[in-house]
Amino acid sequence: MFELTDSFIKDVKDRIHKKPNIKNLSFDEVEEFVRSKGFERYRADQIINDIYVKKIETFAEMKQLPKELKQVLESEFEIVSILNQRKRVSSDGSIKYLFELADGKSIEAVYMPWVDDKGELDRSTLCISSMVGCPVACAFCATGTLGFKRNLNPSEIIEQIFRVEKDLNTKINNVVIMGMGEPLLNYENVIKALRIMTSEKSKILSRRKITLSSSGIAPRIKQLANEAKPVKLAISLHATTNKVREMIMPISKSFDLTKLMDSIEYYYRKTKIPITYEYILFKDLNDSDEDVERLAKIAKRVPSRVNIIPFNDISFTLPQGISKELKPATRALMNNFATKLRDKNVAVIIRDTFGDDIEAACGQLALSEEKNKSGDK
């Protein structure tokens, strides 16, 4: 169970929306604030260490700081910006978290444990959200049915990691930004969060342990390539022609495969980081031999690998149009498709799904919560 007390939660809910969260400040901004209040620069490093390394949740607990500075911080900022709302534990060990934000909206994160051949925990991955809802509206994604509510700020992005680590008393080894939302459409906040997360001062994660998943916002992919600490990039591809991709991913009408591949080649040239292509296999839609040929050509343009992903059922969203027609590929079809790609010297992994028994589809738990709040059945 969570360690936050009922009284602390009530106090946070009463105050959280009234003051900015200090985790929304860059480390330079923390230092600027401290100095503007007449305190020494090194106090900023103490604050940063308390928040990000010790994960202190109230300013009163910051024992190294003078009383006057703690009072200033207390009057100006909050530290906690999200609260644990619900969680679902799967038989496969994965856990889906629902978090409540200050404005009452909900987001999700999914904890995925990876075990070795001996059945022991090898590493842990956390899939986190970057938005409430999503404007991209992919036909296969439950989050899109929520519509776009708002962007998450840096503190709300980072705290998903902190809340899960505290609940499980563990250290998250890898983070994938592929939960609710399109991270490259929330570029400023996501990049600020990444800079904080990958800083030597925060000790949260190495950039090599972070993957950002995008539906293909070509100009932002190029912008990301020019960041000082670029992370691993995963592209939600899911089709090998513009016609099919536009059917299931409307964003492709703005950034077709030509523009997307141009941005991907730029990303690799700048960063030398191999690309991951995510490919949900749908029966009779993107599973032909011609798709194998085209996907192999795409994968060979820069060093990359293809993750073939099972389709999570979204029937609970009452899908319409093309969403209603999507059919999952069988395991045999996925294996056959992967074999044909491997025969063309493409690196391929067939991904297992996590949490089939715990409202696993992206956005499902948040959508359920929204319906409960609105009285929809």
Q: Summarize pLDDT for 172-184 with one digit per residue, the tens.
A: 999 999 999 999 9
Assign residue 24 the CATH number of its domain: 1.10.150.530
Say if residue 45 is in the same domain as residue 181: no
Say if residue 90 is in the same domain as residue 40: no
- Confidence bin at 352 (pLDDT 50/70/90): confident
Mean pLDDT for the stretch of residues 181-202:
97
Domain that holds residue 252: 82-374
Whether residue 63 lies inside any domain: the answer is: yes
Q: Which residues contact 189 (CB under 8 A, 6 or more apart)?
A: 130, 151, 152, 153, 154, 157
**Residue 220 pLDDT > 60, yes or no?**
yes
Say if residue 252 is in the same domain as residue 116: yes
What tens digit of pLDDT does each residue of 31-71 get? 999 999 999 999 999 999 999 999 999 999 999 999 999 99
Q: Which residues contact 243 (CB under 8 A, 6 or more apart)?
A: none
Say if residue 334 is in the same domain as residue 369: yes
Whether residue 342 lies inside any domain: the answer is: yes
- Catalytic positions are 108, 362
Whether residue 12 lies inside any domain: the answer is: no
Say if residue 269 is in the same domain as residue 367: yes
What tens digit of pLDDT does each residue of 236-276 get? 999 999 999 999 999 999 999 999 999 999 999 999 999 99
CB atoms near residue 254 (< 10 Å): 12
Give me the number of domains the chain comprises. Answer: 2
- Kindly write down the DSSP assignment for every residue of 114-173, as one continuous string: EE-TTS-EEEEEEE--SEEE-SS--TT-SGGGG-EEEEPPHHHHHHHHHHHHHHHTS---
Say if residue 21 is in the same domain as residue 90: no
User: Of the residues 76, 93, 110, which one is the last residue of a structural domain?
Assistant: 76
Say if residue 339 is in the same domain as residue 323: yes
Cα torsion through 53, 57, 63, 65, rounded to 10: 90
Distance CA(325)–CA(242), nearest Å, equals: 18
Say if residue 89 is in the same domain as residue 55: no
**Residue 88 pLDDT > 60, yes or no?**
yes
**Residue 372 pLDDT > 50, yes or no?**
yes
* Cα–Cα distances in angstroms (integers) from residue 6 to residues 9, 81, 344, in the given order: 5, 16, 58
- Confidence bin at 373 (pLDDT 50/70/90): low
Q: What are the CB-based long-range contacts (under 8 Å, 24+) for 319-327? A: 319/139, 319/145, 321/139, 322/139, 322/247, 322/248, 323/139, 323/140, 326/139, 326/140, 326/248, 326/282, 326/285, 327/282, 327/283, 327/284, 327/285
Alpha helices in the chain (DSSP H): 6-15, 27-36, 42-48, 67-76, 154-168, 187-197, 218-225, 242-248, 257-271, 289-299, 322-325, 331-343, 364-374
**Residue 13 pLDDT > 60, yes or no?**
no
Say if residue 194 is in the same domain as residue 227: yes
3-state secondary structure of 199: coil
Whether residue 305 lies inside any domain: the answer is: yes
Say if residue 263 is in the same domain as residue 334: yes
Whether residue 8 lies inside any domain: the answer is: no
CB 216 within 8 A of CB 255: yes
Say if residue 210 is in the same domain as residue 98: yes
Mean of all residue pLDDT scores within the chain: 91
Say if residue 192 is in the same domain as residue 257: yes
Whether residue 287 lies inside any domain: the answer is: yes
